[in-house]
Amino acid sequence: MKKISLLLFLSLVTQLWAADKPLVVTLHPILTEMVTDLVGDEVQVEGILPQGANVHSFEPSPQDMVEMQNAVLIVAMGKHLEPYLDRLKENLPPTVKIYEAGRLVPSLQSDPSTAMFACCPVHGLAAIDPHWWQSPEAVRRAVRHLGRELEKVFPEYKSEIRANTKVRMDELKELDRWAEEELAAVPKADRELVTTHTAFGYFCARYQFQAVPVRGVNNDKDPNPEELASTLKVLRDRDVKALFPESSASADSLRAIHETSGIPLAKPLDPEFSFEENSDRGYDEVFRQNVLRIKEALISSDSQ
């Protein structure tokens, strides 16, 4: 009984301690990690995207809205990743500022010819590709500008935020350098990333890969026989070395293509970086895993 009472007491103390801190709400685990890295323990940082939720279809709950009413800052991914953002702005008090972390990252336009492979209808034809976090170089730019924004919101912690921003930018620069070295082993002729939808545009642009979304394969439907035949012809003509399933989408269609064509099926990639907050697995670990799986699949196929 005493042990339970002590646990309840500690929990209450923790809640009261957190309540004394200014609140920043984030809309993606990457942003929760990013803000925490920059502000340390000086600010309460809360993410509202549930573990495993589809970032493209997520909508804040009434409880989320109540929490955001009390925030001094809400950090979003931006580039229209959160289609509810305009409605959110209309329903929050003017004292709550919304900052879009990807706003100052140079945008990539979605290829109209691959609109059918977009992650969702919002990011289809002629839309901006919202998956800017696929490149550490882009994330590094976002961190720099987010750091400046946090310095404005929390001027009393400016020196700490500035120092933490530099540390994180240096880490991302090293991560980008590491990726270049790892991917240098992949022959340029084999740098084709065949995935279920167009989520890796920034990765491909940074590391000289060609994105090859598969015809008729997206999160909503499987290819009909005509589409499958067309897909197989394209993949064979391009001498594709591997097919890359995604952790957030069904692999059934790619598995069917693999069984018909013999093209190797690689280990799944994680396009959404949907890691659990406050765990040992963060942005760097997910990115490294994606890079190593791409390298492993394309090098293994090239040696066969």
Asked if pLDDT for residue 202 goes beyond 80, the answer is yes
Burial 38-62 (b: 16+ CB within 10 A, else e): bbeeebbbbbbbeeeeebbebebee
The three-point CA angle 270-248-290 to 5° equals 10
Asked if pLDDT for residue 215 goes beyond 60, the answer is no
pLDDT band at 111 (very low <50, low <70, confident <90, very high): low
pLDDT of residue 208: 97
Question: Which two structure tokens, joined as six digits, stand for 11?
Answer: 């929990």
Look up the CATH number of domain 2-179: 3.40.50.1980
pLDDT band at 77 (very low <50, low <70, confident <90, very high): very high
Are the C-beta atoms of residues 120 and 249 closer than 8 Å to each other? no
In the block, which residue shows the tokens 């909508």? Answer: 59
Asked if pLDDT for residue 81 goes beyond 70, the answer is yes
Which of 25-39, 98-112, 195-209 ranks highest by mean pLDDT? Answer: 25-39
Of the given ranges (16-25, 35-44, 53-62, 141-150), which has the lowest mean pLDDT?
Answer: 16-25
Asked if pLDDT for residue 5 goes beyond 60, the answer is no
Query: Which residues is 25 bridged to in the sheet?
Result: 46, 74
Tell me the whole-structure pTM to 2 decimals: 0.84
Interatomic CA distance for residues 40 and 146, integer angstroms = 14
Q: Which residues contact 174 (CB under 8 A, 6 or more apart)?
A: none
pLDDT band at 225 (very low <50, low <70, confident <90, very high): confident
pLDDT band at 10 (very low <50, low <70, confident <90, very high): very low
pLDDT of residue 121: 46
Interatomic CA distance for residues 23 and 72, integer angstroms = 6
Asked if pLDDT for residue 97 goes beyond 90, the answer is yes
Averaged pLDDT for residues 178-194: 96
pLDDT in tens, 41-69: 989 999 999 877 777 788 999 999 999 99
- Of all helices (H) and strands (E), which one includes residue 97? strand 97-100
- CA torsion sign, 164 to 167 to 172 to 173? positive
In the block, which residue shows the tokens 């003017």? Answer: 94
DSSP, residue by residue, 147-214: HHHHHHH-GGGHHHHHHHHHHHHHHHHHHHHHHHHHHTTS-GGG-EEEESSS--HHHHHHHT-EEEEP
Average pLDDT, the chain: 84
Averaged pLDDT for residues 80-105: 93
The domain ranges of the chain are: 2-179, 182-303
Of the given ranges (30-39, 156-165, 188-197, 243-252), which has the lowest mean pLDDT?
Answer: 243-252
Of the given ranges (100-114, 134-148, 208-222, 226-240), which has the lowest mean pLDDT?
Answer: 208-222
Interatomic CA distance for residues 201 and 188, integer angstroms = 17
Per the CATH hierarchy, to which homologous superfamily does domain 182-303 belong? Answer: Nitrogenase molybdenum iron protein domain (3.40.50.1980)
The closest alpha carbon to 243, from 281, 197, 297, 198, belongs to 297
Domains 2-179 and 182-303 share a fold: yes
Averaged pLDDT for residues 233-256: 83
Asked if pLDDT for residue 230 goes beyond 70, the answer is yes
Which of 115-119, 184-188, 215-219, 271-275 ranks highest by mean pLDDT? Answer: 184-188
Are the C-beta atoms of residues 177 and 284 closer than 8 Å to each other? no
The closest alpha carbon to 150, from 42, 273, 67, belongs to 42
